[in-house]
Structure 1
């Protein structure tokens, strides 16, 4: 259930920041050294956003390397409630806490400021974080008994999710506020995640005071979430790092890492990470996903079948879209109502473009049905198909 807060409205401001003007030392993600700035305006705007995070119950939209986040203090119940309220997000859906350094994790969440930097991170994670932090990797840690973390970030579970983002704006915001930031994607709940400041403004204008505009996000999908506290370890949510990379960089303990493949979660069941329980990543338009399978039929025969299905399902549409990858040709549908867009031919391009194209079809093209060419579920394809299956709900067709 969403816990109730008094409704608040804002004049939402968008402040430009230049990621290239923010500079960190090579060890800042460990020792917490503050960044330097080559652009005074970027520094000024970041300090304003940091003040909101540190000194108020407010929340801020900001870029990460994955998607734009909606951030509030992980240590402040009211800030966390304001995140849920702005997104209209159920409060039994946990949030990831973002820190700027391992030093900040130790001081601000575990409440200790001496000893080995990795003393609060179980050994099974050491290889992963040394290779993948800062970056799109989220790990689960036990909630400290006497820690300061708001229980609302964990959905009252014994673990919490944490990562160090690599985007300079995100790192600088967290470092300047010296506050762990709880941050789901900065969109209305269930909508495709935002990869630009304009996406955030479209969804949350009037609901939050400030958005930091640092340009488009590079990765385009949320972080990978892993649980090393169980045996065998689990990949709970595929994302910016692939399952193959986790197994390779994690060492022997991660060689048997399993992928959480639960298709549905019961209404009363608790989940350990965002993105597992509720409808996610969906545009307003209905999404139909085509899933490639190993078939003996010719390419022409398979395409003819896809075209027949699209023409039949779109017969009552005012306007529909086809998002293509490497298999569907650009001119496959001859219909004036059809908008065709390429997501890209490489997995990385598709991953980066996916959410933006789903939003474009909704917001700019005003289509009522979107047909999407799926990809094979290896490497980056696992995360891509995870998002597309959720966006399409039960509308999945093999071809």
Structure 2
């Protein structure tokens, strides 16, 4: 883009007031402007239920190339196609029987339960989709978002959009419009402000073309939810259950090949892998309510675009956040929490000492004015406020509470924003307390592991 500024548009104040049949004139104005830009081969940042996306016409090579230019994104990193309804999905294929076979195969139940929503599926490529979207592969990634603004926009355009996260490539994904402005302001013509993203991490990418089926990227729909479906028997998770060097070099979906989600400051991760490995991955431990799995929806009617989003929001508000497992699970969480606190206190103390020594040397030679200010950021899942034992160093530490260790949904919603805010304070290092890799924790740990420069394994030796 040659534009010197980006237009930041706020189309609505509350999702509860969004009405497809009675849109505020100001919202319509913004949507029409966004549509005009997309029709004319430009890019627009749009809100979704996961993170903010950078949208372009998925059929147009020039439009898609502008995504890569704005993000400085590698050309061999494929994009996800976003559709408004199943009618648009079917229209992607010259032979409608291909679409029908996809909708009747292993994807039938996941689509029925989780579209619209944060689930991406891998399907045979449509000849209509730009080569830039698929990175030249014979498959493509596709999903139906539940956010009513982006679905309405896709419907009005009449074509699918390609939309990776609206950030500079490699940076933490944006969950606020201001994050997009920080990264892409001046490089894109329009940012639609839809408020905070409810999910906080990107969509789950499911490949049921493989046997057994595989989650290539954990996200908003969990392994625990998907593995219950009969058509996904034996469901695996890439990197957790197996690795594939060929797939790593020619990824079919974003988030697999390159380092992602990284703030400017180096990230040190305190990983509870020991506690994850001490228990089998079962469908009984720490599961979320199955309320979100019970909805039966094909969402072919565009007059109810907001329904799926509202339903998902209600489910997120109503589900139990705490572990409902057996005593072994509860004891494991209790031990993990205790070990994490002790490990974090030790690591924070050691890192402060080392960094201060480095800064003292730097100050003697360069007059570093940041000494004893914002040296470390700690992203905690165990304590809402800086603990007493570290308060003597309070002036050196920025404390961020992501949510409780057991509340993986809340941690997922707050992770990227906290990483960005820590960067705002120009800290020298970010220490992140990891969580257990059940439910949304699998996606959280996938993201923060990719962001980490160093990992410290936390085990029962810290008790």
* TM-score, length of structure 1 as denominator length: 0.87
Q: For residues 91-106 of structure 1, what are the structure 2 equivalents within 5 Å?
A: 91-106=75-90
Change (3 A) 1:372 1:80: same
Native 8 Å contact 1:225 1:273 kept in 2: yes
Q: Cα deviations across residues 153-210 of structure 1 (Å, max 9, x unaligned)? A: 0111110000000001111111111110000000000000000100000000111000
Residue of structure 2 aligned with 1:306, choices 333, 344, 354: 344
Aligned to 2:152: 172
Correspondence for 2:378: 322
CA distance in 1, matches of 2:192, 2:9: 5
Residues of 2 paired with 1:117 and 1:266: CA distance? 27
Deviation at residue 40 of structure 1 after TM alignment: 1.2
In the TM superposition, what whole-angstrom CA distance separates every residue of 1:76-119 from its partner, at most 9, and x where no partner exists? Answer: 01111100110000010000000001111222x2146x789745
Q: CA RMSD in A?
A: 2.4
Pair 1:110-2:93 in alignment = yes
**What are the superposed Cα offsets for residues 286-310 of structure 1, whole Å, 9 maximum, x if unpaired?**
1111012349989767634432222
Other-structure match for 1:28: none
State the match for 2:399 in structure 1: 340
What does residue 416 of structure 2 align with? 355
Aligned twin of 2:38: 53
2:196 aligned with 1:137, yes or no? Answer: no
Q: Tell whether 2:16 aligns with 1:37.
A: no
* Aligned partner of residue 70 in structure 1, secondary structure: strand
Tell me which residue corresponds to 2:443: 383
The aligned residue for residue 256 of structure 1 is 234
Pairing 1:186–2:166 present = yes
- In 2 relative to 1, CA 183–42 (structure 1 residues): closer, same or farther, beyond 3 Å? same
Where in structure 1 are there 5+ consecutive unaligned residues? 1-6, 24-34
**Whole-angstrom CA distance in 1 between matches of 2:336 and 2:41:** 59
Question: So what's the TM-score if we normalise by structure 2?
Answer: 0.76
Verify the 8 A CA contact 2:167 2:184 in the aligned structure 1.
Answer: yes
Structure 2 runs not aligned, ≥5 long: 279-331, 357-370
**Does structure 1 residue 219 correspond to structure 2 residue 199?**
yes
Following TM superposition, by how much is the alpha carbon of 1:263 offset from its aligned partner in structure 2, in angstroms?
6.9
- Say which SS state the counterpart of residue 253 (structure 2) adopts: coil
Q: Distance in 2 between matches of 1:175 and 1:328?
A: 43
User: What displacement does 1:312 show?
Assistant: 1.5
| Pair 1:266–1:206, CA change in 2 (3 A) | farther
Match of 2:297 in 1: none
Counterparts in 2 of 1:40 and 1:21: CA distance versus 1, 3 Å: farther
SS at match of 1:36: coil
Deviation at 1:324, TM superposition (A): 0.7
Question: Where does residue 8 of structure 1 map in the other structure?
Answer: 2
* Change in CA separation of 1:300 and 1:247 when aligned onto 2, cut-off 3 Å: closer
Alpha carbons of structure 1 residues 126 and 312: separation in structure 2 relative to 1, 3 Å: same
Report the Cα distance in structure 2 between the residues aligned to 1:301 and 1:355, rounded to whole angstroms. 24
Q: 1:50 deviation in Å?
A: 1.2
Q: How many Å apart are 1:59 and its aligned residue?
A: 0.3
* 1:78 and 2:62 correspond: yes
Cα distance in 2 for residues equivalent to 1:388 and 1:285: 13
Q: CA deviation at 1:398?
A: 2.3
Contact 2:117 2:146 in 1 (8 A): yes
Name the structure 2 match of 1:271.
251
Q: 1:267 to 1:86 in 2, by over 3 A?
A: farther
Cα distance 1:8–1:266, how it changes in 2: closer, same or farther (>3 A)? farther
Structure-2 change in CA distance of 1:115 and 1:274 (3 Å): closer
Distance 1:343 1:301 in 2: 18
Aligned match of 2:108: 126
